[in-house]
Amino acid sequence: MTLKVLFSAPPQQWSAFRAPLDRAFREAGLDTDLRYDHPPGEVDYIVYAPSGGLSDFTPFTRAKAVLSLWAGVESIVANPTLKIPLTRMVDSGLAEGMVEWVSGHVLRHHLGLDVHITRRDPRWNPVVPPLARHRRVGLLGLGALGSACARALAGLNFNVSGWSRRPRQVEGITCLHGEAGLAQILSHSEILVLLLPLTPTTENLLDERRLALLPRGAFILNPGRGALIDDEALIAALDSGQLAHATLDVFRTEPLPPEHPFWAHPRVTVTPHIASETRAETASQVVAENIRRAEAGEPLLFLVDRDAGY
């Protein structure tokens, strides 16, 4: 039987994903009809991006699963019309892109490159950074992306610790969890990287009290979710010198409004949600494998826990 697969994502992504998805389906031995305009009652699987406009899943009476192209699922996980399994995207392309962005900006702050890039003062003033093994880097979030970044930074010889809500083990990384573990990792992280999912328990996780736990002059990188940080508390910490700089890739409202104070703040770097983009080639293979698994009665990969929110 031919499986009808609906592509529900922004129109500009159709041209990027159509050929890779069709190829991945063939390689997985699937007989599929991939379109963006299937009648809802005939759809077997939905390839989904939250920005595609689909919000009511009630008409999809035959659908077996929603396969998200995004790593974050906070905009869909509580949708009351979604009664079928939901998977999130975890793939090698996402991990590689995130590792490169995080490693690049950790090295940038570690080496003090901003000073050299912007300096126009001809006075010779050599400031030598510490070796990486003396720089303490903390990661909040030890899922697939956080663990990959932790291992990469440890490979560069940084002193790396990671924190998660529940106990996790990552080889070669000091892993902490729970409220006591959070306070501990904040207190010694000279560079802090946020890679947590956005859930009711992580929203505004970095508030005024927790930002004050960081060593004075710490750096923050946020390629996770914008609402992990209290914006006003972050600006206050930057203004006071508690934080030296914040490099932000994600925001509560995207695109970031032109009037937002982050744009003009001298201690904030804004990047336009580019830390890790879903790559069509690698993501299509994950989608195809999950459809193959569903048809074979096997467990789906990266199934979302609705209670946990990710």
Tens of pLDDT along 48-92? 999 899 999 999 999 999 999 999 999 999 999 999 999 999 999
Gap between the terminal Cα atoms of the chain: 32
302 inside domain? no
User: Which residues span the domain enclosing 14?
Assistant: 3-91+278-296
Give CA–CA dist 183/181, Å, rounded: 5
224 inside domain? yes
Angular region, 101: left φ>0, alpha ψ -120 to 50, beta rest: alpha
Residues 180 and 251 in one domain: yes
304 inside domain? no
Residues 36 and 103 in one domain: no
Split at pLDDT 50, 70, 90, the class of 119 is low
User: For residues 72 and 198, is the Cβ–Cβ distance under 8 A?
Assistant: yes
What is the residue-averaged pLDDT of the chain? Answer: 96
Query: pTM for this one?
Result: 0.92
150 inside domain? yes
User: For residues 224 and 248, is the Cβ–Cβ distance under 8 A?
Assistant: no
Average pLDDT (25-42) is: 98
Average pLDDT (243-262) is: 98
Split at pLDDT 50, 70, 90, the class of 118 is confident
306 inside domain? no
301 inside domain? no
Locus of tokens 């490979």? 155
Residues 241 and 109 in one domain: yes
Bridge partners of 248, per DSSP, are 222, 270
The alpha helices in 112-161, defined as continuous H runs, are: 113-118, 144-155
Radius of gyration of the chain (CA): 21
Nearest in space to 216 (alpha carbons), one of 194, 233, 238: 238
Residues 116 and 224 in one domain: yes
Identify the pLDDT of residue 123.
82
309 inside domain? no
Active site positions, annotated: 225, 273
Average pLDDT (109-117) is: 91
Identify the pLDDT of residue 126.
84
Question: Which two structure tokens, joined as six digits, stand for 36?
Answer: 């963006």
Residues 48 and 108 in one domain: no
Nearest in space to 137 (alpha carbons), one of 96, 108, 179, 95: 108
**Strand 243-248 vs strand 268-270: parallel, antiparallel, or unpaired?**
parallel
DSSP letter, residue 300: P
Residues 136 and 192 in one domain: yes
Q: How many domains does the chain have?
A: 2
Domain containing 27 — which CATH number?
3.40.50.720
Identify the pLDDT of residue 117.
80
Residues 85 and 10 in one domain: yes
Residues 52 and 26 in one domain: yes
24 inside domain? yes
List pLDDT tens digits, range 202-231: 999 999 999 999 999 999 999 999 999 999
Question: What residues have CB less than 8 Å from 218, skipping those under 6 apart?
Answer: 189, 190, 191, 192, 242, 243, 244
Give yes or no for residue 121 having a pLDDT over 80.
no
